Amino acid sequence: MVNLILFGPPGSGKGTQSKNIIDKYQLIHLSTGDLLRAEIEKQTPLGLEAKKFIDQGSLVPDEVVIGMIGSKLDANPDAKGFIFDGFPRTTAQAEALDKLLALKKTAISIVLSLEVPEDELIRRLLNRGLTSGRSDDANEDVIKARIVEYHNKTAPVADHYAKFGKFKRVKGDGTVESTFELLSKEIDELVSERV
């Protein structure tokens, strides 16, 4: 199995590149942001609770997202591999993911981290907020709060995987196409090592 984490701050292109990667490599895309937004759309109790955190630019509690990912892994027993987008976002989530994958006799293959300067992140998200309807793109204060959460709680996840030699930085401020080429190169290397 090939299990990738697409890592990076809000607006770095994780969702955009995940779509390209699943088309090319037939992996299952697991985005905790998308799963939470689907719960909000359906107005489930979980969604209504999560919305309070998302609207402020804060992370949703670990146990909520870990439970969602556990269910999705169980629901896809025949997957060739997974691409995790927006998860794990804390060291506790990373440790939980490692355990969930170990139960399935697999592990994270690599973490690919999209590197984009902060002014470009803000520009992209404000621009998307004009049309997306995403409440957390609506104003610059919430976008900045999401970036602060990233630096405080998510960036340390890099160390968790770097100590196993599984963390790689990829330039993410080029075009969508050129970034996809860089990511493909990394994934192709990984796939060829496994054949």
Residue 59 counted as an annotated binding residue: yes
Residue 172 counted as an annotated binding residue: no
Nearer to ligand AP5, 51 or 194 (CB): 51
Residue 148 makes CB contacts below 8 A (sequence gap 6+) with 57
Looking at the DSSP bridge assignments, the partners of residue 92 are none
Residues 9, 147 contacting (CB under 8 angstroms): yes
Nearer to ligand AP5, 103 or 176 (CB): 176
Around Cβ 126, how many Cβ atoms within 10 Å? 15
Active-site option among 104, 128, 144, 166? 128
Q: How far is the CB of 132 from ligand AP5 (least distance, A)?
A: 7
H/E element holding 169? strand 167-171
Counting every residue, how long is the chain? Answer: 195
Nearer to ligand AP5, 2 or 149 (CB): 149
Q: Distance (Å, rounded) from C-alpha 76 to C-alpha 144? A: 35
3-state secondary structure of 2: strand
Nearer to ligand AP5, 145 or 190 (CB): 145
Residue window 1-40: x/- pattern of binding to ligand AP5, with contact defined by CB under 6 A: -------x-xxxxxxx---------------xx--x----
Q: Distance (Å, rounded) from C-alpha 51 to C-alpha 174? A: 32
124 is catalytic: no
Among 2, 5, 65, 94, binds ligand AP5 (CB under 6 A): 65
Q: Looking at 76-150, list the stretches that DSSP marks H as alpha helix, in order from N- to C-terminal side.
A: 91-103, 118-132, 140-149
Residue 146 counted as an annotated binding residue: yes
14 is catalytic: yes
Among 2, 5, 21, 59, binds ligand AP5 (CB under 6 A): 59
| Residue 109 in contact with ligand AP5, rule: CB under 6 A | no
Instruction: Describe the strand order of the beta sheet including 28-31 as a list of residue ranges.
Output: 28-31, 81-85, 2-7, 110-115, 167-171
Among 82, 87, 161, 167, binds ligand AP5 (CB under 6 A): 87
Q: Which residues bind ligand AP5 (CB under 6 A)?
A: 8, 10-16, 32-33, 36, 53-54, 57-60, 65, 86-87, 89, 93, 124-125, 128, 136, 146, 175-176, 179
Residues classed as catalytic: 14, 89, 128, 134, 146
